[in-house]
Amino acid sequence: MTTTLPTIQHLINGQLVSGGSRSADVFNPATGQVEKQVLLADKLTVERAIISAQAAFPAWRNTPPLKRARVMSKLKELLEQHADELCALITAEHGKVLSDALGELQRGIENVEYASYAPELLKGEHSKNVGPAIDSWSEFQALGVTAGITPFNFPAMVPLWMWPMAVACGNTFVLKPSERDPSSTLRVAELALQAGLPPGVLNVVHGDKEAVDTLLQDPRVKAVSFVGSTPIAEYIYAEGCKHGKRVQALGGAKNHAVLMPDADIGNAVNALMGAAFGSCGERCMAIPLVVAVGDDTAEAVIAGLKTEIAKMKVGPGTDASSDMGPLVTKAHFEKVKTYVDQGVKEGATLLVDGRGVQVAGHAAGYFMGPCLFDHVKPGMTIYQEEIFGPVLGVVRVKTLQEAMDLIDAHEYGNGTCIFTRDGEAARYFTDNIQVGMVGVNVPLPVPVAYHSFGGWKRSLFGDLHAYGPDAVRFYTKRKTITQRWPSAGVREGTVFSFPSSR
């Protein structure tokens, strides 16, 4: 059967090109229809992208940082001008509601804006007279070809966590976006060309494991940034390190919100609704677990959540009245449904069941309504594993310490938050909890672009967090130069002792 569907191509050396004999379907999750085909790059195609990035590196590395930064400023403008178009692409392939797509894009743009401060960020360190007439300085040099592999859940934002800082620091880049929703990622890269990024500085190859493995194994790729699920993150980290690369691999999460008895329950309920069900729960910073301290707190939050859930509207992301769109694929829908079945089997109390939700005119869409469990306990599958769907579980504990011990014992340590009016409890929590990103009365403590993003434990493999100041260190190598110019005609004796400041 010949297909008339549009094909999403690779972007190599500034050109949209074919490459690879395989392709995958790209669905609209609100209708369940295949809308496009995306090419899946083979090894040769990825190597073409690497060669193009390598060829572009010498000139780009030597381009003054201010000129590189100006491309980022121009890109920011273009992204703002094309926001509606980009959000439509995100919603069509991911399913999230348009206002949420705009939020993601805005957060991505903030990373582009930060990258436009590159000249300031790359200034280095200088010490005069480290010895008699000796000066020393450290500069931060670009690595060469760098690569990024990104997940489906933020097709615009997560790639913008990576490549703008990488290229602003003088590197070139090969990006492998999620094959499930690649159109907005590709469109952003086209806008970067329009903003003045020279061909080859940013290349986009679509694909799956074959493309990823090529990036991990090719010696010309010096560093790899990854965001996705923990099993793949762990694999990327091990495989990339084995091949001598610098790797940062951000993985999955199971974020707990602690609700103290003194919290403003009304505000906490509103915050939890967005954090649990926004983007259908498909966020690595989503809150799938509320740990209520005391039974009265649990009863109060459940009552509030039930009231708010009853008001929620599930529908296509393109409908401005929808609060929550569909899940990303049929397979993911089935997986989330199985988790809910499992929660019931393992003895949690299902208070709100979203499994049978129907959206008029969208019978084949991957819609699931919000689900609310009570009496979720450690050891249950729905407690331990990342569901990545609209499923919120309430865990009951007696003390703050018990809540914190639970969080610390969990394998993930991406985000967490505490709702309280007690400053002492909040300070104890932020000081001691074993999690990388912590909120106090802030449910989604996603760091702004001038801080860095990363979890602890099995939510991040590597040393440096994503974007912000850590990105300058990740995408550059420190070189320290020590310099002296002896006065003409002065002969100096040989010294065999180790040089020191005397």
Residue showing tokens 């400041």:
501
Q: Report how far apart, in Å, the C-alpha atoms of 428 and of each of 262, 395, 425, 443, 465 are.
A: 16, 21, 5, 18, 24
CB of 294 to ligand NAD, least distance (A): 30
Cβ proximity to ligand NAD, 450 vs 456, nearer residue? 456
CB of 162 to ligand NAD, least distance (A): 11
Q: How far apart are CA 482 and CA 480, in angstroms?
A: 7
CB of 208 to ligand NAD, least distance (A): 5
**168 close to 138: Cβ distance less than 8 angstroms:** no
CB of 296 to ligand NAD, least distance (A): 32
Find the distance separating the first CA and the last CA of the chain, reported in whole Å. 81
Q: Which amino acid belongs to residue 480?
A: T
Cβ proximity to ligand NAD, 222 vs 465, nearer residue? 465
Cβ proximity to ligand NAD, 151 vs 316, nearer residue? 151
Cβ proximity to ligand NAD, 139 vs 234, nearer residue? 234
Q: Of the listed 87, 284, 371, 417, which one is catalytic?
A: 284
Which runs of consecutive H residues, i.e. helices, occur in 132-200? Answer: 157-168, 183-194
CB of 368 to ligand NAD, least distance (A): 16
Largest CA distance in the chain: 90
**373 close to 348: Cβ distance less than 8 angstroms:** yes
Cβ proximity to ligand NAD, 111 vs 297, nearer residue? 111
CB of 448 to ligand NAD, least distance (A): 15
Nearest by Cα to 10 from 177, 236, 227, 156: 177
CB within 8 Å of 195: residues ≥ 6 apart:
71, 72, 74, 75, 77, 78
Strand 246-250 with 460-461, pairing: antiparallel
Q: Which amino acid belongs to residue 27?
A: F
Helix, strand, or coil here: 371? Answer: strand
Residues forming the site for ligand NAD (CB under 6 A): 149-154, 158, 176, 178-179, 208-209, 212, 227-229, 232, 250-253, 284, 386, 388, 414, 455, 459
CB of 150 to ligand NAD, least distance (A): 6
Cβ proximity to ligand NAD, 178 vs 420, nearer residue? 178
Cβ proximity to ligand NAD, 150 vs 476, nearer residue? 150
Q: How far apart are CA 41 and CA 325, in angstroms?
A: 30
Cβ proximity to ligand NAD, 69 vs 227, nearer residue? 227
Exposure on the CB side of residue 263, measured as CA atoms within 13 A: 33
Tell me which residue has its CB nearest to ligand NAD: 228
Q: Is 284 a catalytic residue?
A: yes
Q: How far apart are CA 190 and CA 206, in angstroms?
A: 14
CB of 414 to ligand NAD, least distance (A): 6
Q: Which amino acid belongs to residue 482?
A: T
Q: In what order do the strands lie in the sheet with 256-259?
A: 349-352, 371-374, 391-397, 289-293, 256-259, 415-419, 437-440
Instruction: Give the catalytic positions in this structure.
Output: 284
